[in-house]
Structure 1
């Protein structure tokens, strides 16, 4: 599998188009960790890895296209936004999972780790995102 190189986006950020496959979760984690390292925000790397893993996994399971788009941006000096764009217009749902369930906890984890999270409807699908806050004064 060949991957396109990460590219800076408009404001400080990185984005990459990934195949809608389970292997893309590891690529997404690396991109988030790399962006956080470049920005000197390594303290967010573990939480960022969990958030992006859950968002990409959700898109892999439920999207309707061959690819998904990952965008890692820095809307503020201490804020990182991790977003995953796919072509499904169906909004994600938090659902209750029992102890025996193998999955279904992804958005609960995102909500617990992120300072904010949400879904932006797009004409062709949606963007699901989570924000993490680091230390001020960067």
Structure 2
């Protein structure tokens, strides 16, 4: 699968791509994030960005019945990169509680919370976007 990132012509710089809501899309989403970060010369964020998008995609696939997901990589400011996954479910993600059995699953949001500077959910009339932001140094 060839992954390319097309810049948006207006607004904050960013990239977005729609993928099927399937496990195979996680690899394409990782390549997509790598491509966007490389375009901005932010390769130092690649490991964290790839982990974030992997967890966001997995959560969207596991916890929704949507047929497609949209991966969005943007720069809301020069100090942050935002990685988000959009789906058509309005149910909000739930952080696991202490004492929950985390041996086999349920660690996704904990990992996102540990890696990201901040994360959240934007709810729309038709669905939501769960996003996480990584801090980056502004270019001189």
TM-fit CA distance, 1:3: 7.2
| Structure 1 unaligned regions, length at least 5 | none
1:45-84 alignment runs, 5 A limit: 45-84=46-85
Find the counterpart in structure 2 of residue 43 from structure 1: 44
Matched, 1:89 2:106: no
Matched residues, number: 136
The separation in 2 between residues aligned to 1:117 and 1:71, in whole angstroms, is 14
Kindly report the root-mean-square deviation, in angstroms, between the aligned alpha carbons of the 2 structures: 1.7
User: Structure 2 vs 1, CA of residues 85 and 3 (structure 1 numbering), >3 Å: closer, same or farther?
Assistant: farther
TM-score normalised over the length of structure 1 = 0.91
TM-fit CA distance, 1:77: 1.4
The separation in 2 between residues aligned to 1:129 and 1:81, in whole angstroms, is 7
* C-alpha contact (below 8 Å) 1:51/1:130 kept by paired residues: yes
Greater Cα shift, 62-71 or 119-128: 62-71
Find the counterpart in structure 1 of residue 116 from structure 2: 114
| Structure 2 unaligned regions, length at least 5 | none
TM-fit CA distance, 1:49: 0.5
The separation in 1 between residues aligned to 2:122 and 2:15, in whole angstroms, is 19
TM-fit CA distance, 1:8: 1.8
